[in-house]
Structure 1
Amino acid sequence: MSDAREEVLARVRGALGDASAVTSLPRGYRTRGEHAPGSTEALEQLADRLEDYRARVLCVPAGDEVIGDAIAAALSELGIREAIAAPGVPADWLRGVPRARTDDGSTTARELDRASAVVTGSVTAVAETGTIVLDGSPLCGRRAITLVPDVHVCVVLASDVVQTVPEGLRRVDPTRPLTLVSGPSATSDIELSRVEGVHGPRTLVVVLAG
């Protein structure tokens, strides 16, 4: 140990004294919100946060066919007629997309870069932070398909929406490859000039179902 470092540590020990007091830290963390999972208040809070992040939120009733209609309408409005989907996405979600194919894991990053859009589900969503969680399951798909295409259409079921982060973490498997999405990909330089699509989809469409 260098003489300078020893001198600094000696001064710290001298300032603290021989019997420094141990500070007791409060541990009363908030583990749940005031809004129940799937409640109207939680859904409205999630939609508000996502829209604040410049995501487009479509609120629809439950049902695969209704979800499929919303996905088709959103892609059509963006001028997109093709999409790649996570392997566990229900067929009805893609019924209105003229050219839809399911990812089988063999699509390369270069091929994904040419894909117009990706369609996935989600495992949970946190209303307070506007965060959608993907876990690499068949419904969510592997991480690459949600990071490379320019448009991500993500379905969130109302029953999967919780208010706080602790509630959301209790719903996921920590050993899985989790991806947390809070709006479209965006970053800002030192002059705060916002640039979207730098490290993920430029456009995020969230279908909030149920």
Structure 2
Amino acid sequence: MSSRERVLGRVRRALAGTPEDDTPYERAVARDYLREHGGRTAGETVDLLAENLADYRAIVHRTTDGELPALIARLLAERGARQVIVPPGLPPAWMPADGPARVEDRAVSTPRELDQADSVVTGCALAVAETGTLVLDGSPDQGRRRITLVPDHHICVVRVPDQVVSSVPQALGRLDPTRPLTWISGPSATSDIELDRVEGVHGPRTLEVVLVGQPPS
């Protein structure tokens, strides 16, 4: 018997005494909590996202579609990036033609190979304003989860206001729970018992977020 079969067997035995007419889970838990805190316009929601991203020590940029390629080129140049990982579905127009060498997101790539890349550029699934959180779901413009965990520098593009929601409950209503969701609130960091902060522990040391489609308010 495999471990999977053993676990499922225990679940079946635990559920054996459940009445046929027992209240389904989706109705057993009251979901009458607030969907968002306060009322905001779309622009105010984007401003709140930018504020909370910066509070988590992400570097926030705002630009338009036409200026996006030049901004990404500048950010990569300032980083001194020689290799950049590009997911297969990233819009080609986002990347500068004469920029760093592009590394494909391949299933066979080893962690050591991914670590050779200086940066990674991705899109996102959603961004949550109230928590300053980016959500990636493995879509073609985001690639596999590990490409955003190994390189030390992550540039994430968020289309505003379409990809911005106010709250986590609103995000959960729009996300597909069957996809591999990665929730990112600022660059990777941890603190020891003396509260000495160390960044780059479980992921990128530097997170740059580009809000595209709406000029600064």
TM-score, normalising length from structure 2? 0.79
- 1:30 pairs with 28, 34, 37, which one? 34
- 2:112 pairs with 110, 120, 131, which one? 110
Counterpart for residue 202 of structure 2:
199
Cα shift at 1:201: 0.3
Cα shift at 1:104: 3.0
Alignment identity in percent? 54
- Work out which of the two has the higher radius of gyration on C-alpha atoms and give 1 or 2: 1
Residue correspondence of structure 1 range 1-210 to structure 2 within 5 A: 28-33=32-37, 34-36=39-41, 39-61=42-64, 63=65, 65-96=66-97, 97-158=99-160, 159-210=162-213
| Structure-2 separation of matches of 1:199 and 1:133 | 16
TM-score, normalising length from structure 1? 0.82
| Structure-1 separation of matches of 2:157 and 2:81 | 17
Corresponding pairs, count:
182
Cα shift at 1:80: 1.6
Which 5+ residue runs of structure 1 have no aligned equivalent?
1-24
Which 5+ residue runs of structure 2 have no aligned equivalent?
1-28
CA contact (8 A) 1:94 1:100 kept: no
Local SS of the residue matching 2:53: helix
Q: Which moved more, 1:104-113 or 1:161-170?
A: 104-113
Read off the aligned partner of 1:72 and give its amino acid letter.
A
Deviations 1:7-29 (A, max 9, x none): xxxxxxxxxxxxxxxxxx98530
Read off the aligned partner of 1:78 and give its amino acid letter.
R
| Structure-1 separation of matches of 2:69 and 2:107 | 23
Cα shift at 1:128: 0.3
Q: Which moved more, 1:142-151 or 1:78-87?
A: 78-87
Task: Sort the Cα spacing of 1:27 and 1:93 in 2 relative to 1 into closer, same or farther, 3 A.
Answer: closer
Deviations 1:88-120 (A, max 9, x none): 101111125232233133321110111101111
